[in-house]
Structure 1
Amino acid sequence: MTSRSAPVDGFRLAYDRFGHPGAPGVLLLHGWPGNRQDYRRMVPLLSGAADVVVPDLRGFGGSDKHAVDVRHFYSATAQAGSVIGLIRELELSQVVLAGYDVGSRVAQSVARMQPDLVAALVLSPPLPGAGERVLTAKAQTEFWYQAFHQLPLAAELIDGDADSVRNYLRHFWTHWSGPNFTLSGDELERLVFDYALPGAFTASIAWYRAGAGMVAQSLAELPPGGGPRIHVPTDVLWPVCDPLFPTEWADRLEHYFTDVAVHFAYDAGHFTPLECPEQFAELILNRTRPGG
């Protein structure tokens, strides 16, 4: 049964809860262009040993979508505020917070804002440390969509048009995935159903319009060693076949995290929860065990 959170800043989150209340808490944060169903292959691997909560972030899936100032209400900090509110509402403590894509950035923000609530992070890119490398010609051939999302034209061409949404989402789910993964037609149609509702696509790209995307964040980040680090123990699952995030960009992580271990997913592309669910889940389960 899908539940809805109490509002934070007027936004209620839709979420599913699986497993055993009282077991170690695990929150799973999805990416773009996805929703909480991104974790459908991981939940069965986790729910036998954890209290698993999977929300839609603001502007996605069944969560609220409001036409408001995006920088104030859709930034990483604002998204983190809703996640923190959900953790407190469910009376969870010392959760393992996992995320990829948008969910990775939001999880990092939670760890900075309320480290006392988080026992560990398990993340796939994006992560800090890319810096100016995001402006290379090769990187910009991948990150073009983030500039496109800033244009009113993006919503005018795509929002509310199922065929346009389908073609646009299919491009990313095909191009970003690894060689052994294909999103089925039924799975794509479920995403299209969510994203093609009037206003839904526009709400989903509010994240980028708020300046929370990889390009904006990489150019704004402090140089290595130039600011406070995240102190929450962190595992990074880096997919080797992700065209967005080359493995070389993992070289500066120790400058942004005090306790970080990098693990490589050798056959996976960008969508780690679906492409290598066992490896992702095992990193989470290791953090829920005593001494993890």
Structure 2
Amino acid sequence: MLAVERSGTGPAVLCLHGWPGGTSDYRLLTPLLAGEAEVVVPHLPGFGESFAPGDELRPPSDFSREAMVTALIELVDSLSLEPAVVVGYDVGVTTAIALTRRAPERVRALVVGNALAPSTFVSAALDPHRRAEFWYQDFHQLELCSRLVDGNPGAVRAYLEHFWSHWGARPAAAVDEALVEAYSRPGAFTTSLNWYRSGSSTLYGALAIAEGGPLPEPVDVPASVVWGALDPLFPPDFAPNVTELLPRASVQVLDDVGHFTPLEAAAEMADEVRGYL
């Protein structure tokens, strides 16, 4: 069973964190909604309090998108949650969409950060002019990455600070000390890499499509996309394509927001969630 944090009462809001991230990704959004909803923030498999020593020795497939969705369905059922508004960014976006595909009856609506339509995966991740932004997804495949960072708080801090400073635009995306501590536990950083090592990342999706794989079908669910225009991974040029993936989506582009939408645009995301409660 996943560890989980719950706040408030009312309609269910299920919040899925990203990488590098954890439940603290929702430390600003939760207080905005807890007076009118039950906010449920799980520690995804291998992250935070759902990490256990020895997890780093398990196969990466135990921490794939598919495994995360299975764990989330078990969590939703165990908590007897009504169909939830599912919120996500980064890893949480693709996990939320995969959850909706597999168990649409458990999802009332989606509120997500920059959501890349599959038709743009190749342009986003493989275009020579943008390929350098995805260097970390290659690096995470290497045992060297674990050897350099795992269990070393100074290295963890330096590594995570790169992403907070490069991907974030508003001050709310600054260093999260609790996250540094969580990722510094022996084995925890390596376990977090299994999302990438399992083939669940954007880069793997782009490679599959480039090799002739089919584009996933659209997800027909009410949706709101809050797009940070300063996200270097998914710039606003890709925003108009969102409706290929989420045909019922509204898209709000925020010019001074980066990648970490639940932190940088907590008020805007809360407003979108309220529209589905």
Report if TM-score (shorter chain) is over 0.5.
Answer: yes
The alignment status of 1:212 with 2:200, answered yes or no, reads yes
Higher relative contact order (CA 8 A, sep 6+): 2
Alignment of 1:63-74 (within 5 A): 63-65=50-52, 66=55, 67-71=57-61, 73-74=62-63
Task: Give the corresponding residue for 1:42.
Answer: 29
Alignment of 1:1-292 (within 5 A): 12-20=1-9, 23-65=10-52, 66=55, 67-71=57-61, 73-129=62-118, 130-133=120-123, 134-178=125-169, 180-181=170-171, 183-184=173-174, 187-221=175-209, 226-288=215-277
Query: Within 1, Cα distance between the matches of 2:121 and 2:3?
Result: 34
Superposition deviation, residue 165 in structure 1 = 0.5
- Single out whichever of 204-213 and 226-235 deviates more from structure 2: 226-235
Tell me how far apart the structure 1 counterparts of residues 162 and 236 of structure 2 sit (CA, whole Å): 22
Which residue number in structure 2 is paired with residue 4 of structure 1? none
TM-score w.r.t. the length of structure 2 is 0.93
Distance between the aligned counterparts of 1:213 and 1:246, measured in 2?
17
Alignment partner, residue 9 of structure 1: none
Q: Distance in 2 between matches of 1:224 and 1:201?
A: 31
- Please name the residue that 1:8 is paired with: none
| Cα deviations by residue, 1:46-86 (Å, 9 ceiling, x for unpaired) | 00110110111011111134232212x11111111111111
Residue deviations 1:102-150 (CA, integer Å, cap 9, x gap): 1111101100000011010111134223232021123212110000000
Structure 1 residues 283 and 224: alpha-carbon distance in aligned structure 2, compared to 1, 3 A threshold: farther
| Distance across 1 between alignment mates of 2:205 and 2:51 | 25
Q: What is the alpha-carbon distance in structure 2 between the residues aligned to residue 227 and residue 176 of structure 1? A: 27
- The structural deviation recorded for 1:234 is 1.4
Distance in 2 of aligned mates of 1:284 and 1:96: 7
Mapped to 2, the partners of 1:248 and 1:224 lie a distance apart of: 24
Tell me how far 1:235 sits from its aligned partner. 1.0
Deviation at residue 101 of structure 1 after TM alignment: 0.5
Cα distance in 2 for residues equivalent to 1:210 and 1:203? 11
Aligned amino acid, residue 193 of structure 1: E
Q: State the 1:94 CA deviation.
A: 1.4
Kindly report structure 1 stretches of 4+ aligned residues shifted beyond 6 Å. 222-225
Cα deviations across residues 163-183 of structure 1 (Å, max 9, x unaligned)? 1111000110011011x3255
Over 3 Å counting, the alpha-carbon distance change for 1:166 and 1:282 in structure 2 is: same
How much does 1:257 deviate? 2.4
Cα shift at 1:25: 0.5
Deviation at 1:218, TM superposition (A): 2.7
Q: State the TM-score, normalizing by the size of structure 1.
A: 0.88
Which protein has the bigger helix share?
2
SS at match of 1:138: coil
The one-letter code sitting in structure 2 at the alignment partner of 1:90 is L
Q: CA contact under 8 A between 1:225 and 1:255: conserved in structure 2?
A: no
Q: Is the 8 A contact 1:224 1:252 kept in 2?
A: no
Residue identity opposite 2:17 in structure 1: H
How far apart are 1:261 and its partner, in Å? Answer: 1.4
Quote how far apart the aligned CAs of 1:219 are: 2.9
Compared CA separation, residues 139 and 274, structure 1 to 2 (3 A): same
Could you tell me how far 1:256 is from its partner in structure 2?
2.1
Distance 1:232 1:148, change over 3 A: same
Change (3 A) 1:221 1:95: farther
Q: CA deviation at 1:267?
A: 1.0
Task: Tell me how far 1:249 sits from its aligned partner.
Answer: 1.4
Deviation at 1:226, TM superposition (A): 4.8
Q: Which consecutive unaligned segments of at least 5 residues does structure 2 have?
A: none
